[in-house]
Amino acid sequence: MHDSGSRSHEMSESVVLRTIGGMLIPYILIFGFYVQMHGEIGPGGGFQAGVLVAAAFILHLLLFGRSGTDRWLPRWLVDLSMSLGVLLYAGTGVACMAMGGHFLDYSALDPTHPAEAEALGMTLVEAGVGLTVASVVLTIVRKVQGGTR
């Protein structure tokens, strides 16, 4: 749908916007990771972190256009991480069941240290949620930007 002529048109033409926006992206990403790692015991978690990480890439998409973002974050990687996130989440649950607990009963992961096992389980599940949310939000924005196909 977009030929090469309109592709360059997608990129923001303002040098100021591109420079300042480009500087912001690493900070948004770091804040996203902070919220992700902080989420198991405090406010935060995979959900919010996923949206923050996706916001960083959406900003990149707005500034540098679709081809610019595809170079940094290829589309197959986004598709893959959508599935990988769910796999991580469900896989943690299945691991709990294989260790003799109920689905997502994290304490079963390490019966000798249940508290640490719970922290581990929560971190894994939150990582799965974050991965899926980030890639899904990014995919939605890309699809709406460029038609359904």
Partner 1 sequence: MLNFLQPWSLHFPVLLVLIPLLGGVLAPLLGRGSRGWAWAVLTMGFATLIAIEMLLAIRAGGAISYPLGGWPPPFGIELRVDMLSAIVALVVTSVSWIVTIYARRSVQMEIPGDRLGPFWAVWLLAITGLLGIVVSGDAFNVYVLLEISSLTIYGLIAMGRSRDRKALVSAFNYLILGSIGASFILIGIGLLYAHTGTLNMSDLHQRLQANDGGATVLTARAFLLVGLALKMALFPLHFWMPAAYSTAPSAVAGLLSATATKVGIYMAMRFLYTVLPTEGGTLTDPNIWLLGGCAGGAIFYGSIQASRQPSLSLLLGYSSVAQVGYIVLGLAVGHIDAMTGSILHLMFHALMKGGLFLCAGIFLYRLGTNDFTQLAGIGRRMPWTSAAVVLGGLGMIGIPGTAGFISKLHLLRGLFLADYPILAMLVLLGSAMAAIYTWRFVEIAYLKPVPEDAEEILEAPFDMLWPVWLLIGSSLWLGLNPAPVVEIATDAARALLGGGG
Partner 2 sequence: MTLLGLFNHWAFVIIMMVGLYAIIARNNMVKKILGLGLFQTGIFLMYITLGVRDGATAPILQDDPAVIYANPLPHVLILTAIVVSVSTMAVALALAIGIRESYGTVEADEVAAIDQSSQEVGC
> Out of 47, 70, 87, 107, which residue is the one contacting partner 2 (CB under 8 A)?
47
Query: The tokens 């992961």 sit on which residue?
Result: 109
Under the criterion CB under 8 A, does residue 140 sit at the interface with partner 1?
no
- The smaller minimum CB distance to partner 1, of residues 49 and 82, is found at 82
How many whole angstroms separate alpha carbon 37 and alpha carbon 99?
Answer: 25
> Out of 13, 23, 76, 148, which residue is the one contacting partner 2 (CB under 8 A)?
148
CB 119 within 8 Å of CB 76:
no
**CB of 85 vs partner 1, minimal distance in Å:** 9
Under the criterion CB under 8 A, does residue 144 sit at the interface with partner 2?
yes
How many whole angstroms separate alpha carbon 60 and alpha carbon 21?
Answer: 8
In sequence order, the 6+-apart residues with CB closer than 8 A to the CB of 14 are none
Q: Which residues bind partner 1 (CB under 8 A)?
A: 79-80, 82-83, 86-87, 90, 93-94, 97, 101-108
